[in-house]
Amino acid sequence: MEKKTNRKKLVIGLAVALAVAALLCVSGITLARYVSSAGGTANTEVAKWSVSFGSNETVTISFGNLSPSMEEYSADGGVRSNESEKKLALTVTNNGEVDAAVSISAGTVSVIEPASPDYGVTGYTESSTADNPTQEQVTGLFSFDLYYDADDIACTEPANAVDKLTLSGEATSVVVAAGSTLNLYAVVTWTSADTELKKNADALDTWVGENIESVGLSLTLSAAQASEADGGEA
């Protein structure tokens, strides 16, 4: 496969970001622990529940500039793609006294900037680029993957986060022990529309590089009680 020479394929300026919409959803009631007092009465203290997702508002993690593959389209070359480095995207902290089962599910990829791109109606086809690309054609180029280290969920080395979360279908659940932290790392992949558009996949990549500034993925997170306070000594 030859590298591009005359065609304008690589356009710098697309900042890929992960937009995290953190939704705290607490379900279940923590069991109480009992302590005795000198007066012979029994008091109860409720086990603490405190799970934070770093922010209860939407936060953006920038991956910097991401380009498509530098290779020119070839009918026998396979689908081209290029991915970002693995980067810390989200930290979940359990400051409570019971374990928490943290569920993560993903929404759809969307364009963050500009707010209203000049999308087309019919979009690009294999034989024509007369209209601008559709929104679906643009967002369909990008995919996000989340990783963590199942053996050490608080790991700080991206290379060790090799366990991939399932973001489609049923939400992935990770148990975060009381007093522990879960670090999630993200990778963004730009996959050219070679199968759909053939040679015009290059034109779509170029349009995106010229007109789109950032894309993102929304995540919904929830936490539910995953252990019981057994009423041991205070």
Residues 17-39: pLDDT tens digits? 444 443 332 333 333 332 323 33
Name the helix (H) or strand (E) containing 110: strand 100-113
Q: How many residues appear in the chain? A: 234
Q: What is the 3-state secondary structure (H, E, C) of 8-66?
A: CCCCCCCEEEEEECCCCCEECCCCEEEEECCCCCEEEEECCCCEECCCCCCEEEEEEEC
pLDDT at 5: 32
pLDDT in tens, 61-118: 555 678 888 888 888 888 999 988 888 888 889 988 889 888 888 878 888 888 899 9
Give the CA angle between residues 133, 199, 213 to the nearest 5°. Answer: 40
Measured distance CA(115)–CA(52) in Å, rounded: 29
Higher pLDDT, 45 or 35: 45
